Structure formats: structure tokens, C-alpha cells
Structure 1
């Protein structure tokens, strides 16, 4: 079982619903939602140098290739990061199979039902053409960035970010920043086994990521990003 049972009790879910009513944007920060030992095993897999490929998005187009990227003005670039290649990991060892199994769990009926209970919506992958494209591992180095953007899209009800950074230090950067009310952005440190759930259509849900510190060469910020849809 991937989930920490104490964090998903009926009482806990009622508490999460209350928090959602009073947060801007409509979001939750849940620490220790998942089994820490299993996540540590996943974290070790992600620290391998294999199966990573650079991904770049502009405000005009997603998945921009190298030639297009060079022609894109700096102000129009909003994402540069590494994406874990699930297809190349599929033939890997037991540890890599565990990392793949966790991604599969995050799209399972069990996990979708939990998110549905918390947000009081009916999440489903029945109309999602390629669900696996909506859940994957990412990493950021000091050279990478995720600039201000919104994740709202018709039918997209919940976004999840889960951090897999063991021993993340204060001053290392990498905080998730919600625009919130425009005057006081909400900062969330990317601590290990910290899960952020949010409604991408709620006011103040626009967000960015603070730069990872360049004082730690070869250092990466790891996370899972997952998007969930209604019918």
C-alpha cells in the first residue's frame, strides 16, 4: 500500500475539505501522505543519470524542439526541465519497476477516489486519451526554470505535486510559488514526501518555481506532477 492510512481517514478528509474552503488558491499541503520507505526507494531511482530527457515549453507551444527553442525569445519561454522517460525505464530492474508502479498507482481507481472525496468531484480517466502523459517525474537543475503559468484547462479539476527531495536544505531554492491574492505569494518548500493538491481554476492558482540554487552543482529538485480530470 502506497498511502499512509492515518492521512486518509474520514476525519482527515473532513479536515482537508475545511482547509480548501479557506485557502487561496484552493489548495492543500499534505506532509507524509505516502509510505516514506517506498518513496525513498523511488527517490534513489530518480537520482540515476539514465532515463532523463530535457523538455521545453513556450507560451505559444508545448514540447518545443531545439530549433524552435533557439528562435523563441527568452520572455516567451516558460518551462525548461528534465522529464523521466517511462518507456526506456520499462525494461529496467526491480527498482525502476517500483518507480513505474508508483506512477500507475497515482492513476489508479484507489487514488482517484481519494482525490474525488477530498475535492468533492468525480475524477476519472475514462475520457483521457493518454492518462500516462498526465503523471510523471520531473527534475530541475539550477539552469532550469518553470516560469509563471496556469494549469487550468477544461475538465481539469485537480493538480498534484509530490516532492522527492531527501534532506532538502533551506536556501536551496526550488519553492513552489502561488500568485494567491497578488500581494502575498504563497511559498511552499519542496520537502520530501510533501504533496501539494490544488484546484487549477481557483483564483490565485497561477504559479512558478523559484530557481534552484547554483551553489550546489549537480543538484536536482525532483517531483511528480499529475493532472486529474472529470468527465
Structure 2
């Protein structure tokens, strides 16, 4: 029987590419954080593509998705509140993924749920803590699952400018799951950057963006998707991490 350390290592490498968690890679990530504005690092192919391919199968099922709408003054507003808000007060309209309890224990649905759980695991949070040199934990979160989920945008949806710097929130992770994305499709992540020098990041498949939400220039938005683009949806995982 494998000991606990070996089990944890196997779990980590099942989801992550070994070369992306080496000592040399970790050093490069920390260097990127020390020189970038905002403090961020882009890691392509951090996760095992074969595993993510199966996750994407679950995201293609239409019954998993529920519309999410936020204004700057209130989150999760209903249609009446949404229609009553002026356009400049609306900052998010997108779909969020809802796990299907009937199919959560089999196939791609199970794997999609397991991946979200892995993103809250001690193994993955230890990786993030090492990169950012800060200890993160779910010990004081009432419901950690609310801090990691899949989202999708379609033409007409949007994520307008905002900051993710809630007290205690140390790291934000964005992972893109768009196999069909091509230049010109829109949906790029844009940081306000330093002195209004925008940082534009295309949402290519298996690209992970990690950033410090309290750092200079970390305010961000998502460019609108092109109505005539190759991709019908823009998929991503958003995950937030907190100190104890």
C-alpha cells in the first residue's frame, strides 16, 4: 500500500505536468511575479491535457449551465433587478456550471467534479503557496466549493472591469478551456497594468493565469466575444484562494 506522501504525489502528478512543477519552473514563476505588473504568471500546459480533454466533455452538456448576473452593488441578482439596473451598473453576465447530482458519479461529469476538488486540495494549494510565498488555506471558508467553478461566456455576455481584492484573498487563478479559440474571437483577459499599459492575455486552451488581486494594475475585464468567431462559448475555471 502506498504511504500518504506517495499518494499525494501521485494525485498531484495525475493532474499536473511534471515539468511544470519542477524546482526550475517554480523559480521561473517566482521571478515572473517579481517583475510583472500586476503580479502575475502565465503557465501554459500546467495541467495534463488528457485529463482536461475529458473535463471539457462535461462542459459541453447544456443542462449543466445556469445564468449568473452581477451588478456593482449586488451579486446574483434576479431578472427583475437586472432589468432595473442601468447598463453601467452591470458588470457580469455569464453562465456558471452546476454539477448534475444524477451523473456526478460517472464519466466526464465525475472527472469535472474531481478536478474542482483537486483545485481545493492541500497538494495544489501547497503548490500555489510555494509559488507566491504565502500560506493559503480553506480552513476558515464556510464553503470552499464556492471558490472554484467553471464559467462560460457567449456572444453578448460580459465581464466588465472589476477588482478581486477582497480582504484575505491572496491568489486568483484563471484556467482556459477553449479548444476552438482563434485570434479574432475575442474573450481576452485584460489587466489595467502599470500606467495604463494594458496586459492582454488570449484565452488559449490549457493556459493558466495566476495573479495577486491586491497588486498594482490587477483590475481586469474580459473583451467581448466576436459574434462571428470560431468558438460558440468561452470556457474557463475561476478559483480564488485565501489566507487563514
Aligning the two structures, in what range does the TM-score lie when normalised by the shorter sequence?
Answer: over 0.9
Contact in 1 for aligned 2:70/2:91 (Cα 8 Å): yes
Q: What's the TM-score once normalised by structure 1's chain length?
A: 0.97
Shift of 1:85: 0.4
The 1:26–1:142 alpha-carbon spacing in structure 2 relative to 1, beyond 3 Å, is same
1:137-190 CA-partner distances (Å, limit 9, x unpaired): 000001100000000011100000000001311100000000001422000000
Q: Which residue number corresponds to residue 52 of structure 1?
A: 65
Q: Note the 1:110-129 alignment, pairs <5 A.
A: 110-129=123-142
Specify the alignment match of 2:159 in structure 1. 146
Please report how far the alpha carbon of residue 26 of structure 1 lies from its aligned counterpart in structure 2 after TM superposition.
Answer: 0.2
Cα distance change on mapping 1:89 and 1:224 into 2, 3 Å: farther
1:34 to 2:47 alignment: yes
Alpha-carbon distance in 2 for matches of 1:55, 1:89: 22
Q: How far apart are 1:213 and its partner, in Å?
A: 0.7
Count how many residue pairs are aligned between Structure 1 and Structure 2. 231
TM-score of the aligned structures, taking structure 2 as reference length:
0.92
Label 1:81 to 1:175 Cα distance change in 2 as closer, same or farther (>3 A).
same
CA distance in 2: counterparts of 1:91 and 1:211, whole angstroms: 32
Match of 1:65 in 2: 78
Q: Which runs of 5+ in 2 are unaligned?
A: 1-13
Residue from 185, 194, 214 that aligns with 2:207:
194
State the partner residue of 1:104: 117
Structure 1 residue runs without a partner (length 5+) = none
Equivalent pair of 1:51/1:89 in contact (CA under 8 Å)? no
